[in-house]
Structure 1
């Protein structure tokens, strides 16, 4: 059984919101960084988060909005903030520090699940907080946008890409050369960028659950 709550996190003068759920006996917690033009209510990320809690029973989840309501309105007009990886990574860092300080979560190992540009933000934050982050999973991510930070990531990284998402797949293969040796690339056959095909998102959740169970919750 897990108890959920909405939390508010101070992040460099802004206040962002998140949905926190922690099953009883959890050993780790996964922070979700959404992709371009999305938010903490992303149905794909919420599906994966639910599967992580249900399947492992050892992982809590925190889904956050990387932008404030005002910033989201600005981004809807300009489309610029969703690609400001520095800003987004700062928000992921702030949420991570909140997890490390919060009485309910400070004893849990932290992992990141990033989608699209949120994956780049997660990788930058992982590079900046190497002692705090135990594992990273990227779904259809843009690790190339993390630039020079890729070489400083120490956490084990799982890159999940759809087999028909050709451009992103090539970008992930190139980024993999700069990530740590324990990085792994999983290609979901027949899947496109949003993993909307039957069974595709279920496969993402399965792969992510195994990765986090191994690196955060002490499973295999």
Structure 2
């Protein structure tokens, strides 16, 4: 079986969301990406991380959590990208869809969130404790998950750039509220977008290692 790449439509709560699903041969798990404010499923940063996960036999699903019409509104107002409740509702619906096994197979599920998408990923993990096994946040705002942080049971890795001082502080606060297995790692020399040479590759390696260790074998999914 070769790697399967599909542009797919996900029906969630009365809307149609578009996603890119990649399922490598002998996939051991699937990682759902929640992109951050002002970004999309075509984000080159998330694509780089997804490619690294695919090479480690992890399937990936990158989905735009807003419709085209909603993105047009958000481009003008910037409001929807911070609507954590809406993003969480959409993300939880996609988790339910993946959990049916139809899209990628009966695979355990992990979440990768960036910026505000990290808050939605953690809130979704809290809402779906029996379906989400691991979460990785890149330059995220986990603090925006609020009270949901204390209900997260998934193993969680928070990755923050060493130059991103304010986000480090916010991640430290969120990390202190997580009661499950959690680790905060600061990537030296990296800014918020991890644009410095080698820093995003480090994120990809750390994420792949975290998911591989935290996600159960396929037979347990």
Both proteins in one fold, TM over 0.5: yes
* Map of 1:150 onto structure 2: 149
Give CA deviations for 1:46-84 in whole Å, capped at 9, x if unaligned.
100001111x12x10000001000000000010100000
Query: Structure 1 residue 106: deviation in Å?
Result: 4.4
* Map of 1:17 onto structure 2: 18
* Map of 2:185 onto structure 1: 186
RMSD over aligned Cα atoms = 1.0
CA distance in 1, matches of 2:121, 2:103: 22
The alpha-carbon distance between structure 1 residues 157 and 141, as it changes in their structure 2 partners (threshold 3 A), is same
* Map of 1:92 onto structure 2: 91
The alpha-carbon distance between structure 1 residues 40 and 107, as it changes in their structure 2 partners (threshold 3 A), is same
CA contact (8 A) 1:156 1:180 kept: no
CA contact (8 A) 2:29 2:108 kept: yes
Unaligned runs of 5+ in 2: none
* Map of 1:36 onto structure 2: 37
The alpha-carbon distance between structure 1 residues 8 and 104, as it changes in their structure 2 partners (threshold 3 A), is closer
User: Is 1:7 aligned to 2:8, yes or no?
Assistant: yes
Give CA deviations for 1:11-46 in whole Å, capped at 9, x if unaligned.
111111100010111110000000001110011001
Query: Structure 1 residue 94: deviation in Å?
Result: 1.0
CA contact (8 A) 2:100 2:106 kept: no
How many equivalent residue pairs?
216
For the residue of structure 2 that corresponds to 1:177, the secondary structure is: helix
User: Is 1:136 aligned to 2:135, yes or no?
Assistant: yes
Structure 1 runs of 4+ aligned residues shifted over 6 Å read none
CA distance in 1, matches of 2:85, 2:20: 23
User: Is 1:49 aligned to 2:53, yes or no?
Assistant: no
Point out the more displaced range, 94-103 or 70-79: 94-103
Give CA deviations for 1:88-109 in whole Å, capped at 9, x if unaligned.
0111111111101142434100
What TM-score does the superposition give when structure 1 sets the normalisation length? 0.96
What TM-score does the superposition give when structure 2 sets the normalisation length? 0.95
CA distance in 2, matches of 1:33, 1:202: 19
